[in-house]
A and B are shown apart, each in its own frame.
Chain A
Amino acid sequence: MPFEQPLKKFVLAWPGSLTEQITLTPTGKSGGAGEIFGIDTQPNLLAKLYHATTTPPQLNHYQRKIQWMLNHKPTLPKISAEYQGIVQLAWPEAMIMHQSDFVGFAMRKIAFDQTLELDYLLNRRQASQEDFDIDYGKLVAVCFNLAAIISCLHSMRIAIVDLKPMNVKVYKSELFVSILDCDGFHIATDEFRSDAPQVTPDYLAPEFQGGSVTHPEAQDRFALATIIFRLLNYGIHPFSGVGVNSRDYPPELAGRIRNRLYPYGNSAHKNVLKVPASVHEVLPNALRELFDRAFSASAINRPSAQEWVASLSVYAVKHSGQMLPCNRGHLKFSSSECPTCLREQLIQGAAARRRSFLTRMQTAPTRTLKYVKKTLRQTHTSPFQAALAQTQFAAVHLAPRASLSTRNAIAAEILWIFGLLISYWWIK
């Protein structure tokens, strides 16, 4: 149950045995492992207290992990002095103790008003509602920054494992990214090891679907490629597509990942078609090859975060000339067609087809009645339909319809029905 009152008598234990008394103020935010608090004396920090239900062995493990993390702060990509407020990792800064017991840790506060979840960048409408206008230059920059952080972590044998857009924040103006839930990272150094059991099936590599993550870095590589693909392809997941044979096509993404049903490769997949609105074909070849290696090939060939950094850096640097405006002012990759214009064409085409389909559906009853009437009266104007109608009745020479008014015809048929009923009565 979340706390509502300020919590007193907590101690912030900095590395190097420096401590200070603090009061924690509830923020109302909580996650799977703990709850987030503000710290009265440290406005730039937030405290994460593990839930009261955490067992002592678990808490002991967390303490050792946080202690290791405090002593091994990763060297992150350099950012210039003007961006000192940027937090690239919500890495532990100090331990929080209560009556000399470990209860949580303090981390740097990410300015939520200056950031938005990476999830929002997958949908342009959502992003614009958050005052963030997306273009391909910004998207490439975000991809580059994310890959750069992951590359730094991997160089220290740290893996995120549960890497997904919801765990990543993006600074709206600076385009730096910030990764949350650092205490859940996988650490595999010689002196300390900690597993990360949390996974998200939609971002889980095929070899780990239905099992445990035995190679966390390979998992991160897969999740990173998935996020980059979605960012550059209007949120389309690399494993969403249209099954040629719907019976064999798994309905959920996890099943498609497990069966490696990736339809956006340089050579088309024989059993799966791409989503019609996809713009992957106008992405640079260098990136498409990396995607193919990430999703089609085996885990050994999966591109590392460093490879992504190398490939994306060409486009992320403004003065490289690799990103140019198209005729309509959208930023595009210099080597290919504008993905934004292509996407607009695809969507407009789909909308036109939808309108045409709706119109045809609405007029279907009228057209059917007209067709039936013309067939019965043999008055088809189209030569093909006339021939078809003639063929249908070619075996029987029909008498011309009696030129009776509808009322006369009804009167005659009433007598006919009487005749049939009378015959029935006499025969039965």
Chain B
Amino acid sequence: MSLMLTSVWVVPLLIAWAWRSRQAATASAWLLRIAFAGFGAWAIWFGLYVHEGEPAGIFFWKPTLLYWTLATIAIIAPMLSWTAPAKIIVGAYFALSSREWRWINRGFAIACMLLGAVNLLVASMTSYRNWVDFKFSCLTILLFIGLFRLNFVWLPLIVDLSFHLYRRTVVAYRYVSQLLRTP
């Protein structure tokens, strides 16, 4: 069981590693990858392998930790003259100037900071149910990011793959037909 669970995340990661682009990634992209590697390792370890679960004290802090980490990266990266992290998240779709990206990045950082703070406020000042509702309302942001990705990247990729498979199928069909026709 443990082996199966491990293969669920290891195999895609191995594929991603094998098929990775040889182009150099920006420093901001690496920073985001490292942060998510840390968050991912934590999630996999405590989500899949440790039956007792996470340390008790971190429970209400989890969303805040994610938001504030993203906010920190979004603030630090432009200070070091690195690419604005917001551009890495939504930059694949829209062509904007560097100035525009800087402002979007600032907005992104402020939003993450506020969300992290509001999470703590809601967790400490309202009921557990309200806190859970708040967390789930925040998932809408993920939904938007996922939908953007689906629309601008995944669908064109699926179209490309469909074309590729269609061509291969036609070639295979012709080849098989030819074989069957040959006496």
Binding site for B on A (CB under 8 A): 366, 369, 372-373, 376, 396-402, 404, 406-420, 422-428
Number of chain B interface residues as a range: 35 or more
Q: Give the docked Cα–Cα distance between A402 and B160 (Å).
A: 14
A406 touches B163 (CB 8 A): no
Per a CB cutoff under 8 Å, which of A369, A376, A398, A414 touches B166? A369
A422 touches B92 (CB 8 A): no
Knowing A420-B146, A427-B63, A427-B138, say if A407 contacts B156 (CB, 8 Å). Answer: no
B1-20 contacts to A, CB under 8 A, are 9, 12-13, 15-20
Contacts of A369 in B (CB 8 A): 159, 162-163, 166
B47 touches A425 (CB 8 A): yes
Cβ of B39 within 8 Å of any chain A Cβ, yes or no, is yes
A397 touches B15 (CB 8 A): no
10 contacts between A and B (CB under 8 A): A399-B94, A399-B95, A402-B92, A406-B161, A411-B17, A411-B18, A425-B47, A426-B39, A428-B135, A428-B136
Q: Give the docked Cα–Cα distance between A427 and B66 (Å).
A: 8
A414 touches B13 (CB 8 A): yes
Contacts of A426 in B (CB 8 A): 39, 43, 62-63, 65-66
Contacts of A376 in B (CB 8 A): 155-156, 159
Chain A's interface: helix, strand, loop or mixed, by majority? helix
Give 1 or 0 for each of B153-170: 1 = CB within 8 Å of chain A CB. 111110111111010000
Q: Give the docked Cα–Cα distance between A427 and B43 (Å).
A: 11
B156 touches A427 (CB 8 A): no
Cβ of B177 within 8 Å of any chain A Cβ, yes or no, is no
Q: Give the docked Cα–Cα distance between A419 and B149 (Å).
A: 12
A397 touches B21 (CB 8 A): no
Knowing A426-B39, A426-B66, say if A413 contacts B157 (CB, 8 Å). Answer: yes
Knowing A402-B92, A423-B66, say if A412 contacts B21 (CB, 8 Å). Answer: yes
Contacts of B16 in A (CB 8 A): 410-412, 414-415
B154 touches A398 (CB 8 A): no
B142 touches A420 (CB 8 A): yes
Q: Give the docked Cα–Cα distance between A366 and B170 (Å).
A: 12
Cβ of B31 within 8 Å of any chain A Cβ, yes or no, is no
> Shortest distance in angstroms between A407's beta carbon and chain B's nearest beta carbon?
4
Q: Give the docked Cα–Cα distance between A423 and B38 (Å).
A: 12
